[in-house]
Amino acid sequence: MDTCRIILVDDDSDETELFTHALEAAHKVLIQAVCRNYQDLLLVLEEGCPDLILCDLKMPKINGIEVREGLQTWDKYKDIPFVLISGVSPPPSLTKQAAEHDIKAILIKPYSNSGYSQLSEQLVEICLNESMEDAAVSAT
C-alpha cells in the first residue's frame, strides 16, 4: 500500500480543512472524503470503502463511538478500521468502550506541524497493520 485512504468524519469544517492539508502533506495519506456526520458517511461509503475511518469523538448529534456502533450493524462496513480522534486524553472507561467496539486507537488531535506528521505516521501504521492482517486471513 502506497497511501492510506482515509475518510475523515468531523463536524468542524475549519478542523477538517486543517487535517486534510496537514495529513496529505505527508504524502502517505489521502483523504478520500470528509463527512460532517454519520448520514454523510453512509452516503460516501456507498461510493467505496477507505482503508481507515478517522472520526472525531465529540460531535453534536452522534459521537464517534455511536458512529462506530452504527457501522458495525452493516456487514459491508463493520470491518473497516476505525480510529477516534479527540482533543483530550481519553479516560480509562472510554478506552475500554472503544476496545469493545474494535476501535483501533484513540489519538489526540495535534496542534503543530510535527504533531500532524506523527499523526500521519500513526494512521499509516494502523493501515499497514490492518492490510497485513487481511492478507494473512485471505492466505489461509
Q: pLDDT grade, residue 131 (50/70/90)?
A: low
Q: How many CB atoms within 10 Å of residue 60?
A: 8
pLDDT at position 133 over 70: no
- Mean pLDDT (whole number) for 63-86: 94
Share of the chain above pLDDT 70, in %: 91
**In CATH, what number does 4-139 get?**
3.40.50.2300
pTM of structure: 0.87
**86 sits in which H/E element:** strand 82-86
**At a CB cut-off of 8 Å and minimum separation 6, what does 70 contact?**
38, 62
Q: In what order do the strands lie in the sheet with 105-108?
A: 29-35, 4-9, 52-56, 82-86, 105-108
C-alpha cell recorded at residue 28: 502517505
Neighbouring CB atoms inside 10 A of 13's CB total 10
Q: What is the pLDDT of residues 77-106, one digit of tens each?
A: 999 999 999 888 888 888 888 999 999 999
Q: Each residue of 15-28: pLDDT tens digit?
A: 888 878 877 777 67
- Phi-psi region at 27: left, alpha or beta (left = phi > 0; alpha = psi -120 to 50): left
